[in-house]
Amino acid sequence: MTALDLSSPVAVVGTGTMGQGIAQVALVAGHPVRLYDAAPGRARAAAGAIVARLDRLVEKERLSGADRDAARDRLLPAESLSDLADCALVVEAVLERLDVKQELFRELEGIVGEDCLLATNTSSLSVTAIGGALANPGRFVGLHFFNPAPLLPLVEVVSGFATDVTSATRAYETARAWGKTPVACADTPGFIVNRIARPFYAEAFAVYEAQGADPATIDAVLRECGGFKMGAFELTDLIGQDVNESVTHSVWESFFQDVRFTPSLAQRRLVESGRLGRKTGHGWYDYADGTAERPEPHTAEPGRTPAHVVAEGDLGPASELLALIREAGIPVREEEEDHGTRLVLPSGGQLALADGQTSVEFRDVVYFDLALDYRRATRIALSASQDTSPATLAEAVGLFQALGKDVSVIGDVPGMIVARTVARIVDLAHDAVAKGVATEEDIDTAMRLGVNYPLGPFEWSRRLGRNWAYALLDDLHLRDPSGRYAPSLALYRHAYASDKRQGGSS
C-alpha cells in the first residue's frame, strides 16, 4: 500500500493551532487541502493564517514564491462537512472529547467515499474507542502529530483494535511522503511518547516531594549531567502544568490507576493554585515582568581535592571517570573486587554510582548520579546522609570539582535524579515492546524526535548494560514497595537472559 497521490484532496477538521499545522504540512507536500471548522468564519480565518505563514517562509527563503502561490491556490475553506465528500483523507483535530469526536466521524462516514481514510490527531483518547462509533472502523487510524506540526518531524501512526493493516500502512506511507518520520504504534494509553515519557516528569517531582532537591537544582542536574535539553520543571512550565497533568492523569486512569503512572500531588497543588507556567506568569518558576531571575541551582562550595583514589571493582557506566581523574593529576590505584564497584577516598569513605540504595545504609558512602557523558557533563549530583563523614563529603565534592564539574549535593534519595529517571524510562520501553506497542527502533526514534531525549531508551539500555536498570529498580522497589519501582517482567527477562548466557544461575 502506497501513500496517497498528491492529486488527492486532504481535509482537516478543526482549525486550531494543531489543525492549521497539519493542513500546512499536507499543503506544502502538494495536496489540495480543505479546511473545515464548526465555528462560522474560523476556517476562512485559518486559511488566511496559513497563507501568512507561507509568506514568512518565502521571506526566509525556505519556500519559493511560485510554490507559495500554488499552495495558496490549493487551499480551500469548506462551508460544510459535505464539501469534504471527495477527500481521500480527513484528519480530525477538534476538542479532546470522545463524544464530540465520535459524532464527527459518524457524520463524516455518511459523506465521504468508502475508500476515504479517516484519522484522528488525538493525543490522549483511545483510537479504538473513537473508531468504535463507525460502521467501518477498519479505515480509521490515529495520526498523532506533535506541535508545531510543520516543524516537528515525528508522527505516531496508531492502529486501533479494528484498524486494517492496509489503512495503517497507507497512513504511515503518506506521513513519510509528507517529509515526516512516522512510527507505528498499537493503541495504548499515551501511545509511545506520552506513555514512556511519564517518568521524566514523575521522578523529578518525586525527588522534590521527598525534599531531596529544589526545582532549579533538579532541572540543572537533568540538563548538565543527564544531557536532557530541558529539566522537568522548566519543561512543564513551558507545556502548561494543566496540560501536562491532564496527560499524566489520562494515562494513569487509562491504565486502571497503575501506580507506575501516579500523578504528582505537588503538581496538582500547582494547578489548583492557578500557577500553570509561562502562560500565567508563574508555575514552578516566576515569569512575571520585573521579577528576579529564576533561582540558581545549589552548587557546593570548593571542597578538598583528594590526594589519591582507589578504584575497587568495575565502575560500569562510570568507568570513564578513571581516565578523567588521572588526567586531573590525581593518582588512581585499581584493585579487583568481587562485591563492589566504588572509589575509596583517602578519608576511608567511599564514592559509588547511584544504584537504588541509600547512603544511610552504609558506614560512610557518598553516591554520585548517572551522567550521559562524564567527560562532557558540567555538573554532577552527589547524595549523602546525615551520618556521612564531612571529610568524605568534602573529598567527594573536591574530586568532581577537580574534574571541572559543578557539584550539587542533594538529599539521600535512592536512585538520585538521572539514574532513577533513566531506569524507569528503560523499563517502560521494554514493557511496551513486550506488549506489542511498538518496536525498539520506533520507540527510540519516537523518544528522540518527540521529546528530544539525548538517547532512546534502548540506546541507554545498551550503553548501561543489560542488568543495570533492573538492578537499580529492584533496589528501589525494596525501599519503596508501593509497586512504583517494581521492574516489569520484560525487564526481568532481559536482565536474566544476559545472566544465563554468562553462566549465571537462578
Segments of the chain with pLDDT less than 70? 1, 290-292, 338-340, 498-506
pLDDT score, position 505: 38
Buried b / exposed e along 125-135 (16+ C-beta atoms within 10 A): bbbbebbbbbe
Cell 506488549 belongs to 435
In angstroms, the CA 463 to CA 310 distance is 24
Q: Please tell me the predicted confidence (pLDDT) of residue 497.
A: 84
pLDDT digits (tens, 9 = 90+) for 340-372: 689 999 999 999 999 999 999 998 999 999 999
Q: Tell me how far apart the alpha carbons of residues 455 and 382 are, in angstroms, rounded to a whole number.
A: 23
Q: Report whether 180 contacts 153 (CB < 8 A).
A: yes
User: CB burial class (10 A; 0-12, 13-18, 19+) of residue 213?
Assistant: buried
Can 136 be counted among the known catalytic residues?
no
DSSP letter for 38, please.
S
pLDDT of amino acid 124: 87
pLDDT tens sequence across 316-340: 999 999 999 999 999 999 887 755 6
Catalytic residue among 8, 126, 194, 408: 194
320 labelled catalytic: no
Q: Are 184 and 157 in contact (CB under 8 A)?
A: yes
Residue with cell 566504588: 342
Q: What is the DSSP letter of 282?
A: B
216, 233, 275 from 266: Cα distances, Å: 15, 11, 12
Residue listed under C-alpha cell 498499537? 186
pTM for the full predicted model: 0.94
Instruction: State the cell numbers at 181.
Output: 518520520
Q: Name the grid cell of 144.
A: 498523532
Element spanning 36, H or E: strand 33-36
Q: Is 462 helix (H, G, I), strand (E, B) or coil?
A: helix
DSSP letter for each residue of 61-100? TSS-HHHHHHHHHHEEE-SSGGGGTT-SEEEE---S-HHH
Question: What pLDDT sits at residue 336?
Answer: 79
Which residues, including other chains, have CB under 8 Å from residue 97's CB and lie 6 or more apart?
A: none
Q: What is the pLDDT of residue 320?
A: 94
User: Active site residue: 8, 109, 121, 123, which one?
Assistant: 123
C-beta separation of 89 from 117 below 8 A: yes
Q: Is residue 194 annotated as part of the catalytic site, yes or no? A: yes
| Strand positions, DSSP E, 150-215 | 154-159, 181-186
Burial class (CB in 10 A: 0-12, 13-18, 19+), 221: buried
pLDDT at 340: 63
* Grid coordinates of 333: 590505584
506 classed as catalytic: no
Residue pair 347/359 in contact by the 8 Å Cβ criterion: no
pLDDT for the residue 314: 84
Which one from 92, 156, 203, 312 is the annotated catalytic residue? 156
* Burial group, residue 65, by CB count within 10 angstroms (0-12, 13-18, 19+): exposed
Q: CA-to-CA distance for 309 and 398, rounded, in angstroms?
A: 12
Among residues 31, 121, 144, 282, the one annotated as catalytic is 144
Q: Give the pLDDT of residue 313.
A: 85
